[in-house]
Structures are given as C-alpha cells and as structure tokens.
Structure 1
Amino acid sequence: MDKKVRIYDMKQKEVVNSKDCKRLGYIVDIELDLDEGKLKKIIVPGPAKMLGMFGRDKEYQINWNQIKKIGEDIILVDINEESDLVKSDY
C-alpha cells in the first residue's frame, strides 16, 4: 500500500519528542533539497521567551531521519533538544 501525506496534513499534527514525551508544537516550515527532491527537515518553533510576550528566536530543526512515526494525530521524533534547538534563520 502506497502511503502519502500532504504538507498541509503534517502541519495539523502535533510534534512530540519520544525521549521525554514533551510536546514541541506544530510544523511551521520545511526544508527541501531541490537537487535530490527530498524533504530534509521539518521546522517547529522553539519555546517562547519570557511568558510568551517577546516572541521566539529559536526553532527546532528536525532532520527527516529523526522522525520515528507519523500517526493520525502526532508526529513522533527522537531529538536532543540542546543540539536541535537552534537560532532561527528568519
């Protein structure tokens, strides 16, 4: 059976770290490799600064190989928050 999922559908699923069951949030962006035609990373906003009043300056950049399972409602990932939480490029 050929399984397919659209980016819109993936953005509706909550991303959860399987290491500690922490909810990371929802996908806001993706990174594609246009030369190879492959999805490289999903981008999830990092934690809000100071009670959420000053926005976010970091994001989780989660490589495709760190995605363990795409389910009905959630996407399970296996990340190290310290190394995968990086300063946002935008």
Structure 2
Amino acid sequence: METSMFAINSLKTMEIIDINTGTKLGYIKDFKVNCEEYKLEAIILPTQKSGWFSKNEDIELPWERIKKIGVDVILVDGEGIVENN
C-alpha cells in the first residue's frame, strides 16, 4: 500500500467528490480528531443549503469513507450522506 503525507492546509484546498454520483461536495471545512488515539475521525463539509431560514448543518464524513487522496481532489464514498443533507 502506498503511503503519502499531506499537510492539513493542502487537504483543505482539495475538492471533495462523491465516487458514486460524481457530485462535487465542496471543500473541507474542518476535521474531527480523536485526541486519545491520535487519529483523524472525520472530515467536516459545509452544506450547500443557504437562505434566511435554512439551518446550516455541516456534513460529517467518517475518515473510513475516504477512498483516494489525489493531487487536487479527494474521492469519497458519500452514499447515504449526501441524500440526507
């Protein structure tokens, strides 16, 4: 298995794409870190919903759903997550 190192700042500039639908999900807003185990638990994506009365709930995508980190994109399995948000 190929091991690559990425800085968090560079991950935040990569576009997130759902491999099931080809949908562009946006860019990473934040990370969820497990401080006891020293590992990333999830990436946080902003929702596309906006408006006066809409509630902005972020999408939490578990790290296990990341399938490939490329040069300028991150491919994820967004099944069941995108439809719910």
- SS across alignment from 2:58: strand
Mapping for residues 11-90 of structure 1, pairs under 5 Å? 11-50=12-51, 57-79=56-78, 80=80, 81-83=82-84, 85=85
Check 1:27–1:54 CA distance in 2 against 1; reply closer, same or farther (3 A cut).
farther
Contact 1:45 1:56 in 2 (8 A): no
Amino acid at match of 1:6: A
**Identity level (%):** 33
Gap regions ≥5 residues in structure 2: none
| 1:88 corresponding residue in structure 2 | none
- SS across alignment from 2:6: coil
Check 1:49–1:69 CA distance in 2 against 1; reply closer, same or farther (3 A cut).
same
Contact 1:26 1:44 in 2 (8 A): yes
The 1-side partners of 2:54 and 2:10 are apart by 25
Check 1:2–1:18 CA distance in 2 against 1; reply closer, same or farther (3 A cut).
closer
TM-superposed deviation, 1:55: 7.3
Aligned length: 82
Note the aligned Cα RMSD (angstroms): 1.9
Gap regions ≥5 residues in structure 1: 86-90
Question: Could you say which structure has the higher strand fraction?
Answer: 1
Question: Could you say which structure has the higher helix fraction?
Answer: 1
Tell me the TM-score normalized by structure 2. Answer: 0.85
